[in-house]
Protein backbone atom coordinates (compact mmCIF):
# COMPACT_ATOMS: atom_id res chain seq x y z
CA UNK A 1 0.00 0.00 0.00
CA UNK A 2 1.35 3.40 -0.94
CA UNK A 3 2.01 5.75 1.94
CA UNK A 4 2.13 9.52 1.93
CA UNK A 5 4.26 11.71 4.17
CA UNK A 6 1.99 14.33 5.69
CA UNK A 7 3.17 17.85 4.84
CA UNK A 8 1.54 20.77 6.61
CA UNK A 9 1.73 24.38 5.49
CA UNK A 10 1.63 27.00 8.26
CA UNK A 11 2.97 30.55 8.34
CA UNK A 12 5.04 29.60 11.36
CA UNK A 13 8.38 28.41 12.71
CA UNK A 14 9.31 25.66 15.13
CA UNK A 15 9.65 26.67 18.77
CA UNK A 16 10.43 24.66 21.91
CA UNK A 17 7.60 24.65 24.42
CA UNK A 18 9.14 24.36 27.92
CA UNK A 19 5.92 24.80 29.85
CA UNK A 20 5.64 21.61 31.87
CA UNK A 21 7.36 22.93 34.99
CA UNK A 22 4.73 25.43 36.06
CA UNK A 23 1.92 24.72 38.49
CA UNK A 24 -1.27 26.45 37.37
CA UNK A 25 -3.95 27.04 39.98
CA UNK A 26 -6.16 29.30 37.86
CA UNK A 27 -6.19 30.33 34.20
CA UNK A 28 -8.94 32.41 32.59
CA UNK A 29 -10.63 30.89 29.54
CA UNK A 30 -9.09 33.65 27.39
CA UNK A 31 -5.58 33.21 28.85
CA UNK A 32 -2.86 30.78 27.73
CA UNK A 33 0.65 29.83 28.84
CA UNK A 34 3.30 30.26 26.14
CA UNK A 35 7.12 30.22 25.99
CA UNK A 36 8.85 33.43 27.05
CA UNK A 37 11.88 34.98 25.34
CA UNK A 38 15.59 35.47 25.98
CA UNK A 39 16.42 38.75 24.22
CA UNK A 40 15.39 42.33 24.89
CA UNK A 41 12.78 44.04 22.70
CA UNK A 42 11.27 40.83 21.25
CA UNK A 43 9.57 40.67 17.86
CA UNK A 44 7.34 37.85 19.11
CA UNK A 45 6.55 36.08 22.37
CA UNK A 46 5.59 32.49 21.65
CA UNK A 47 3.02 32.67 18.83
CA UNK A 48 2.11 36.32 19.52
CA UNK A 49 3.69 39.04 17.31
CA UNK A 50 4.69 42.03 19.45
CA UNK A 51 3.26 45.43 18.49
CA UNK A 52 4.64 47.44 21.42
CA UNK A 53 7.02 46.23 24.12
CA UNK A 54 7.09 47.70 27.65
CA UNK A 55 10.39 46.66 29.22
CA UNK A 56 10.41 45.78 32.93
CA UNK A 57 13.58 46.77 34.79
CA UNK A 58 14.96 48.19 38.01
CA UNK A 59 17.74 50.79 38.15
CA UNK A 60 18.33 52.59 41.47
CA UNK A 61 14.61 52.80 42.14
CA UNK A 62 13.67 53.65 38.53
CA UNK A 63 11.11 51.18 37.14
CA UNK A 64 10.14 53.07 33.98
CA UNK A 65 6.50 52.59 32.98
CA UNK A 66 5.87 50.17 35.85
CA UNK A 67 4.59 51.51 39.20
CA UNK A 68 5.33 49.33 42.23
CA UNK A 69 4.38 48.73 45.87
CA UNK A 70 6.24 46.70 48.47
CA UNK A 71 9.77 45.34 48.14
CA UNK A 72 11.14 45.29 44.60
CA UNK A 73 14.48 44.89 42.86
CA UNK A 74 15.82 43.76 39.53
CA UNK A 75 18.31 44.44 36.77
CA UNK A 76 18.67 46.78 33.81
CA UNK A 77 20.28 46.52 30.38
CA UNK A 78 20.11 43.45 28.15
CA UNK A 79 17.77 40.83 29.62
CA UNK A 80 16.48 43.27 32.24
CA UNK A 81 14.01 42.15 34.90
CA UNK A 82 11.78 43.67 37.57
CA UNK A 83 11.57 41.55 40.71
CA UNK A 84 8.66 41.47 43.13
CA UNK A 85 10.18 40.34 46.43
CA UNK A 86 8.03 38.36 48.86
CA UNK A 87 9.36 40.18 51.94
CA UNK A 88 6.99 41.18 54.74
CA UNK A 89 3.90 40.86 52.55
CA UNK A 90 2.89 41.05 48.91
CA UNK A 91 4.65 43.23 46.36
CA UNK A 92 2.84 44.45 43.25
CA UNK A 93 3.53 46.23 39.99
CA UNK A 94 1.28 47.65 37.31
CA UNK A 95 1.43 49.20 33.87
CA UNK A 96 -0.97 50.02 31.02
CA UNK A 97 -1.21 48.50 27.55
CA UNK A 98 -3.50 49.55 24.71
CA UNK A 99 -4.51 46.40 22.81
CA UNK A 100 -7.11 43.65 22.65
CA UNK A 101 -4.32 41.05 22.99
CA UNK A 102 -1.81 41.36 25.86
CA UNK A 103 1.22 39.22 26.70
CA UNK A 104 3.18 39.40 29.97
CA UNK A 105 6.58 37.68 30.06
CA UNK A 106 8.35 36.23 33.11
CA UNK A 107 11.55 34.42 34.05
CA UNK A 108 11.12 31.56 36.51
CA UNK A 109 13.80 30.02 38.74
CA UNK A 110 14.24 28.37 42.13
CA UNK A 111 13.62 31.70 43.94
CA UNK A 112 10.21 32.28 42.41
CA UNK A 113 6.79 31.41 43.78
CA UNK A 114 3.11 32.11 43.29
CA UNK A 115 1.95 35.12 41.30
CA UNK A 116 -1.40 36.51 40.23
CA UNK A 117 -2.13 38.44 37.03
CA UNK A 118 -5.02 40.93 36.94
CA UNK A 119 -6.28 42.94 33.98
CA UNK A 120 -8.65 45.81 34.76
CA UNK A 121 -9.22 44.32 38.21
CA UNK A 122 -10.17 40.83 37.00
CA UNK A 123 -7.87 37.93 37.87
CA UNK A 124 -6.71 36.08 34.76
CA UNK A 125 -4.09 33.73 36.19
CA UNK A 126 -2.57 32.31 39.35
CA UNK A 127 0.66 30.46 38.55
CA UNK A 128 3.64 29.15 40.51
CA UNK A 129 6.71 30.52 38.69
CA UNK A 130 9.13 28.13 40.42
CA UNK A 131 11.46 26.47 37.90
CA UNK A 132 14.81 24.74 38.37
CA UNK A 133 16.65 25.15 36.06
CA UNK A 134 15.17 28.52 35.18
CA UNK A 135 12.90 29.00 32.17
CA UNK A 136 11.29 31.96 30.44
CA UNK A 137 7.51 31.81 30.20
CA UNK A 138 4.61 34.13 29.46
CA UNK A 139 0.86 34.54 29.77
CA UNK A 140 -1.11 35.65 26.72
CA UNK A 141 -4.59 37.12 27.14
CA UNK A 142 -6.93 37.41 24.16
CA UNK A 143 -10.42 38.77 23.62
CA UNK A 144 -10.00 42.06 25.49
CA UNK A 145 -11.95 45.11 24.39
CA UNK A 146 -10.17 47.71 22.29
CA UNK A 147 -8.54 50.48 24.28
CA UNK A 148 -6.20 50.84 27.24
CA UNK A 149 -5.98 48.16 29.93
CA UNK A 150 -4.31 48.12 33.34
CA UNK A 151 -2.09 45.12 34.08
CA UNK A 152 -1.44 44.30 37.74
CA UNK A 153 0.99 41.57 38.87
CA UNK A 154 1.12 40.45 42.48
CA UNK A 155 3.56 38.19 44.36
CA UNK A 156 1.31 36.04 46.54
CA UNK A 157 3.20 33.14 48.11
CA UNK A 158 6.18 30.87 48.57
CA UNK A 159 6.96 27.97 46.28
CA UNK A 160 6.96 24.39 47.55
CA UNK A 161 10.59 24.71 48.62
CA UNK A 162 9.65 27.65 50.86
CA UNK A 163 12.09 29.98 49.11
CA UNK A 164 11.51 32.66 48.20
CA UNK A 165 8.20 33.55 46.59
CA UNK A 166 9.61 36.15 44.20
CA UNK A 167 8.25 37.08 40.76
CA UNK A 168 10.67 38.03 37.94
CA UNK A 169 9.00 40.06 35.17
CA UNK A 170 10.59 40.63 31.76
CA UNK A 171 7.91 42.99 30.47
CA UNK A 172 4.53 43.29 28.80
CA UNK A 173 3.42 43.71 25.22
CA UNK A 174 0.48 44.72 23.13
CA UNK A 175 0.28 41.92 20.59
CA UNK A 176 -1.35 40.71 17.42
CA UNK A 177 -3.38 37.55 16.94
CA UNK A 178 -1.34 34.36 17.50
CA UNK A 179 0.39 32.73 14.53
CA UNK A 180 0.08 28.91 14.67
CA UNK A 181 3.33 27.08 15.42
CA UNK A 182 3.17 23.32 14.72
CA UNK A 183 5.58 21.12 16.67
CA UNK A 184 4.67 17.57 15.70
CA UNK A 185 2.13 15.41 13.86
CA UNK A 186 1.19 11.87 14.84
CA UNK A 187 1.32 9.69 12.82
CA UNK A 188 3.82 11.21 10.39
CA UNK A 189 2.62 9.20 7.39
CA UNK A 190 -0.37 7.21 6.18
CA UNK A 191 -2.00 5.60 3.14
CA UNK A 192 -2.58 7.71 0.04
CA UNK A 193 -6.24 6.68 0.20
CA UNK A 194 -6.63 9.07 3.15
CA UNK A 195 -8.85 8.56 6.16
CA UNK A 196 -6.01 8.56 8.72
CA UNK A 197 -6.82 10.35 12.01
CA UNK A 198 -3.94 12.67 12.95
CA UNK A 199 -3.06 14.79 15.96
CA UNK A 200 -1.05 17.99 15.57
CA UNK A 201 0.69 19.36 18.65
CA UNK A 202 2.01 22.91 18.81
CA UNK A 203 0.80 26.30 19.94
CA UNK A 204 -1.36 29.15 18.70
CA UNK A 205 -4.30 27.10 17.40
CA UNK A 206 -7.64 28.93 17.42
CA UNK A 207 -11.18 27.83 16.50
CA UNK A 208 -11.72 27.92 12.75
CA UNK A 209 -8.17 26.81 11.91
CA UNK A 210 -7.67 24.77 8.73
CA UNK A 211 -5.14 22.02 8.05
CA UNK A 212 -3.58 21.29 4.66
CA UNK A 213 -2.06 17.90 3.85
CA UNK A 214 0.18 18.86 0.97
CA UNK A 215 -2.17 21.18 -0.94
CA UNK A 216 -5.35 19.38 0.12
CA UNK A 217 -7.57 20.35 3.05
CA UNK A 218 -7.96 17.80 5.81
CA UNK A 219 -11.48 16.97 6.98
CA UNK A 220 -13.08 16.76 10.42
CA UNK A 221 -10.68 19.38 11.79
CA UNK A 222 -11.19 19.94 15.53
CA UNK A 223 -9.22 22.50 17.53
CA UNK A 224 -9.05 20.72 20.88
CA UNK A 225 -7.35 23.66 22.57
CA UNK A 226 -4.62 26.28 22.01
CA UNK A 227 -2.04 23.48 21.71
CA UNK A 228 -3.76 20.58 19.87
CA UNK A 229 -5.62 19.96 16.60
CA UNK A 230 -7.09 16.68 15.39
CA UNK A 231 -8.09 15.98 11.79
CA UNK A 232 -8.54 13.24 9.20
CA UNK A 233 -6.34 13.12 6.09
CA UNK A 234 -7.85 13.45 2.60
CA UNK A 235 -7.12 11.10 -0.32
CA UNK A 236 -4.00 12.06 -2.26
CA UNK A 237 -4.30 13.39 -5.81
CA UNK A 238 -3.46 10.56 -8.18
CA UNK A 239 -0.94 11.45 -10.90
* Same domain (yes/no): 73, 58: yes
Asked whether residue 17 is domain-assigned, the answer is no
Asked whether residue 203 is domain-assigned, the answer is yes
Asked whether residue 239 is domain-assigned, the answer is no
* Same domain (yes/no): 143, 196: no
* Same domain (yes/no): 162, 208: no
* Same domain (yes/no): 164, 183: no
What is the C-alpha separation between 207 and 61, in angstroms, rounded? 44
What is the C-alpha separation between 153 and 215, in angstroms, rounded? 45
Coil, helix or strand for 149?
Answer: strand
- Chain segment 61-90, per-residue pLDDT in tens: 899 999 999 999 999 887 899 999 876 667
- Chain segment 176-191, per-residue pLDDT in tens: 999 998 999 999 888 9
What sign results for the dihedral spanned by CA atoms 13, 14, 19, 21?
Answer: negative
Asked whether residue 238 is domain-assigned, the answer is no
Say if residues 183 and 56 touch (Cβ distance below 8 Å). no
User: How many domains is the chain built from?
Assistant: 2
What is the C-alpha separation between 32 and 139, in angstroms, rounded? 6
* Same domain (yes/no): 164, 228: no
* Same domain (yes/no): 56, 79: yes
pTM value is: 0.84
Amino acid sequence: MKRLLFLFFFLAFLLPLPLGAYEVDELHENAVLVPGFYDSDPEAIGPFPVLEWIDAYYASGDTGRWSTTGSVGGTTGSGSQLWLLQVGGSATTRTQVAADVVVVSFTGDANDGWMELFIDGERYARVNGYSNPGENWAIGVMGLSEGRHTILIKATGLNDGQCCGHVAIRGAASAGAPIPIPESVDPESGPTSGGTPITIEGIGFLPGATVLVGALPARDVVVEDFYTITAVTPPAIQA
